Structure 1
Amino acid sequence: MGPLTLGALVAVATVIVLFSGVSVAAGLLIVSAGFLLVFDGFGALELLPEIFFGKLDNFALLSIPMFIIMGAAISSTRAGADLYEALERWLTRVPGGLVVSNLGACALFAAMSGSSPATCAAIGKMGIPEMRKRGYPETVAAGSIAAGGTLGILIPPSVTMIVYGISTETSIGRLFMAGVVPGVLLVALFMAWAIFDTWRQGGGQTALARINYSWREKVEVLPRVIPFLLIILGVLYALYGGVATPSETAAVGALLCVIVAVVVYRLFSFGAMWTILRDSTRESVMILFIIGAAGVFSFMLSNLFVTQAIAAWIGGLEVNRWVLMGAINVFLLVAGFFLPPVAVILMAAPILLPIVTAAGFDPYWFAVILTINMEIGLITPPVGLNLYVINSIAPDVKLKTILVGSLPFVMCMVAAIVILSVFPGLVTGLPDAVMGPAR
């Protein structure tokens, strides 16, 4: 059996196993062990524990649980509600200020927490009822929050960018910097569509109405929000300024977020702290388990010469590099429909990166394009995690309505991919200016 045929068989088996209901990590281990046993014998299985734990023997991985603790501390407080209220009061004079403030709150909270579901829940609980009450169409109210929640995996600090950096051996600090301008671009596209769609559906008179807040009302909410924003800015400065490594920065950021949660939001109870640590541990173990299992899966593909055969086959195709990139985007889009972003990155990035760099694409630009594809997967069925989160916090809004409201934002993401393809400097310009050209 040729390597390409074997690769197709591995792909089919992986899809079948993952759709059986087992976890992603367990599914990857089952497929890896099964194919190694059949084609290489029992001797190959002896290496799996060493490969699994060897993949986790990376100091940079320490930043993942630290950033997750940082996000959990923020998510356990009223920071999301306060952020929403602050932006609403300050942006009330802007046309469509409420939907703009909701998307702005999603972007900032996603950057602080790094969690898409947490962003949807924290901002959506207040934002969706308030927008509906003021006459915004249900599609705009639900769709904007679902799409805004996806920004957490692009805007730094991003756990998925850390995973990409570790799996491809690229600079995490540069990856974070590369996500800034595309993140702002996506927020701008989301806001523009939401305001236009509100006007188009006739919600203008009520939805675009302005409420006046006094300066006292605008200022009084800031002390509860500014500390978290300063921590985020401090984390980014430490990373980009070369003050500390990502792991050291994440550890300090996590500690400061816990301190702010205790001091500002009076999070003194043992139960609240236990919830933060418990949830952070669960999510961290899940991600690290997937990382170890993906390492075993990659070893299996390489040991059976599947990776090398795929790379050689794609490299031998006489097609325009943009046709190649279009095919890769379709593959990533389909994979994102069914798998979480971390799993797709760990499985696909090490195989695809040599191919895209050989075709002349920048690895950091590709990281952003890959991440936007993963964002699309978060608001499209059948997995579409954000759709179900919105449905759970607003059960009277039909899932079909949420999906219809989300689809235009998918097109905004596609438009962002096109814009970044035409102007790749939007991704690479900021990292090059701050950190120098990539080597």
Structure 2
Amino acid sequence: MSTLQIGVLFGVVTFIALFSGMPIAFAVGGVALTFMLIYMPAETVGLVAETLYSELDNFVLLTIPLFVLMGAAIGKSRAGGDLYASLNRWMGRIPGGLGVANVMACSVFAAMCGSSPATCSAIGSSGIPEMRKRGYSPALAAGIIAAGGTLGILIPPSLTLILYGVVTEQSIGKLFMAGVGPGLLLTALFAVWVVIRFRQEKARVLAGDESGATREILREEGFTWREKFETLPRLAPFIGVIVIIMVALYGGWATPSEVAGIGAFFSLLMVIVIYKCWRWPDLKAILGGTVRESTMVMMIIATSFLYTYVMSYLHITQEVAQWLVALPLGKWGFFVAANILLVVLGFFLPPVAIILMVTPIILPALKAHGIDLVWFGVIMTILMEMGLIHPPVGLNLFVINSIAPDIKLRDIIWGTMPFIGLMVFAIFLLAVFPEIAMWLPQNVK
């Protein structure tokens, strides 16, 4: 068989395995091992264990279980609820302040745990019921949390940026810094949309058009300055952990791996000392969740490297890369085509699989067109965010559906559509003004 035929067969078999419901790690590893047995010398099979170990024997990957532990410590305690309640008091007077508070809570929580589903679950479990009580439509309430949760894979620490950095051999520190500006941009865009949408819903209710739902008039909740300042002791630990992480990382005092250890230690210390999570059932939930998620991610990473090794050995990667470079598209034409490809793949595959399986294929073309790999890493992460909130495999949609089963999946999907548009707009702004992402990594040593 020709390289083209093997490549097509390789892709078809991969999609069949992924859509069979098999866990991603076993699907990807099984396809790679099958093609090794059929198309590669028998002695290469003996290198499987060595290949898996050598790829995982990377100090940078230590950041993953540590950041997962950091997120688990916060997500599996009352910390998420306290964060949400505190921000709600400070945003109460803003039109749509409750919704804005949820966006801000997702942003801060994301900056501490780096996990989108964890952010959705922790903030949504408190935020969605409160927004529903205040008259927010089911679609808007669900859309705010689903979209806000996506900030977890952009605002550092980000597992997605770590994996992208490992695959492309880019500085994790620079990728983290490049994610700050776009993360703040998306947070601001989401907050502005919430205010606009809140005013529209309130106007409809006041006009007597309740769209078939009986609910109280949308209203802002006011808090006194005393009530606001009472929340500062609850906010202070979160702010303290974030400041420690940011200063250590951006001040050049610690590597990303060391920062991950610092963040995990102080987050665990915070929930033990402040939230009394020192009993075994509490620690078991935190540590058990960390082990499960970390093991899953590491298995996907290991088998994905085996997958790319097989593609390279069979010259599939090289052939596709040459074809991509030869396309008469130009830099921006290729950029748009790559974006469309990633969006389409996001319909079917989770972010980890896309980054580990697709990035090695398009990497040579990105370099050939002179596209900055740190900047593109941010763009790719935003596209992965979109994949988390659009059907059919939008993970956040199902997380929201599980914590708010009374909201129809159709309403959840419609609620996220405006936020997808805002992400597309953010990508446009980053293309026109790349300094939004690149200023910090270029000016902070």
1:146 maps onto 2:146 in alignment? yes
Which amino acid is 1:143 matched to? G
**1:394 deviation in Å?**
1.3
1:54 maps onto 2:54 in alignment? yes
1:316 maps onto 2:341 in alignment? no
Taking a change above 3 Å as real, the CA distance of residues 100 and 307 of structure 1, as seen in their structure-2 partners, is same
TM-score between both structures, scaled by the size of structure 1: 0.96
Instruction: Find the counterpart in structure 1 of residue 317 from structure 2.
Output: 307
**How far apart in 2 are the matches of 1:57 and 1:336?**
29
Task: For 1:356-367, list aligned pairs within 5 A.
Answer: 356-367=366-377
**How far apart in 2 are the matches of 1:236 and 1:289?**
29
Instruction: Find the counterpart in structure 1 of residue 25 from structure 2.
Output: 25
1:413 maps onto 2:429 in alignment? no
**1:30 deviation in Å?**
1.0
Task: For 1:31-42, list aligned pairs within 5 A.
Answer: 31-42=31-42
**1:4 deviation in Å?**
2.9
**1:211 deviation in Å?**
2.5
Q: Secondary structure at the match of 1:46?
A: helix
1:404 maps onto 2:419 in alignment? no
Task: For 1:200-215, list aligned pairs within 5 A.
Answer: 200-201=200-201, 202=203, 209-215=219-225
> RMSD of the alignment, in Å?
1.5
**How far apart in 2 are the matches of 1:361 and 1:305?**
24
* Moved segments of 4+, more than 4 Å: 203-208
**How far apart in 1 are the matches of 2:158 and 2:113?**
9
1:240 maps onto 2:250 in alignment? yes
Instruction: Find the counterpart in structure 1 of residue 294 from structure 2.
Output: 284
Taking a change above 3 Å as real, the CA distance of residues 329 and 270 of structure 1, as seen in their structure-2 partners, is same
Is the contact made by 1:181 and 1:426 (CA closer than 8 Å) also made in structure 2? Answer: yes
Which amino acid is 2:427 matched to? I
Is the contact made by 1:97 and 1:208 (CA closer than 8 Å) also made in structure 2? Answer: no
1:368 maps onto 2:378 in alignment? yes
Instruction: Find the counterpart in structure 1 of residue 241 from structure 2.
Output: 231
Q: Secondary structure at the match of 1:130?
A: helix
**How far apart in 2 are the matches of 1:160 and 1:58?**
16
Instruction: Find the counterpart in structure 2 of residue 422 from structure 1.
Output: 432
Instruction: Find the counterpart in structure 2 of residue 389 from structure 1.
Output: 399
Deviations 1:320-373 (A, max 9, x none): 221211111111112222222112111112222221122121101110111011
1:348 maps onto 2:358 in alignment? yes
Please identify, of 168-177 and 355-364, the stretch whose mean Cα deviation from structure 2 is larger: 355-364
**How far apart in 2 are the matches of 1:362 and 1:63?**
24
**How far apart in 2 are the matches of 1:200 and 1:16?**
44
Instruction: Find the counterpart in structure 2 of residue 199 from structure 1.
Output: 199
**1:408 deviation in Å?**
1.2
TM-score between both structures, scaled by the size of structure 2: 0.95
Instruction: Find the counterpart in structure 1 of residue 209 from structure 2.
Output: none
Instruction: Find the counterpart in structure 2 of residue 94 from structure 1.
Output: 94
Deviations 1:157-191 (A, max 9, x none): 11111111111111001000000110111111112
Which amino acid is 1:2 matched to? S
Instruction: Find the counterpart in structure 1 of residue 184 from structure 2.
Output: 184
Please identify, of 179-188 and 329-338, the stretch whose mean Cα deviation from structure 2 is larger: 329-338
Q: Secondary structure at the match of 2:347?
A: helix
Instruction: Find the counterpart in structure 1 of residue 105 from structure 2.
Output: 105
**1:212 deviation in Å?**
2.4
Which amino acid is 1:399 matched to? L
Is the contact made by 2:25 and 2:299 (CA closer than 8 Å) also made in structure 1? Answer: yes
Aligned residues between the structures:
435
Is the contact made by 2:317 and 2:360 (CA closer than 8 Å) also made in structure 1? Answer: no
**How far apart in 1 are the matches of 2:371 and 2:296?**
32
Is the contact made by 2:32 and 2:306 (CA closer than 8 Å) also made in structure 1? Answer: yes
Which amino acid is 2:103 matched to? L
**How far apart in 1 are the matches of 2:19 and 2:277?**
40
**How far apart in 2 are the matches of 1:434 and 1:84?**
31
Please identify, of 343-352 and 281-290, the stretch whose mean Cα deviation from structure 2 is larger: 343-352
Instruction: Find the counterpart in structure 2 of residue 327 from structure 1.
Output: 337
Q: Secondary structure at the match of 1:229?
A: helix
Please identify, of 301-310 and 223-232, the stretch whose mean Cα deviation from structure 2 is larger: 223-232
Instruction: Find the counterpart in structure 2 of residue 132 from structure 1.
Output: 132
**1:203 deviation in Å?**
5.5
Deviations 1:393-436 (A, max 9, x none): 1111111111110111111111111111111111111111113x
Instruction: Find the counterpart in structure 1 of residue 262 from structure 2.
Output: 252
Is the contact made by 2:86 and 2:234 (CA closer than 8 Å) also made in structure 1? Answer: no
Q: Which of 274, 278, 298 is equivalent to 1:264?
A: 274
**How far apart in 2 are the matches of 1:312 and 1:388?**
38
Q: Secondary structure at the match of 1:338?
A: coil
Which amino acid is 1:273 matched to? L
Q: Secondary structure at the match of 2:121?
A: helix
Which amino acid is 2:53 matched to? F
**How far apart in 1 are the matches of 2:344 and 2:187?**
24
Taking a change above 3 Å as real, the CA distance of residues 204 and 372 of structure 1, as seen in their structure-2 partners, is farther
Instruction: Find the counterpart in structure 1 of residue 211 from structure 2.
Output: none
Taking a change above 3 Å as real, the CA distance of residues 294 and 183 of structure 1, as seen in their structure-2 partners, is same
Which amino acid is 2:139 matched to? T
**1:204 deviation in Å?**
7.2
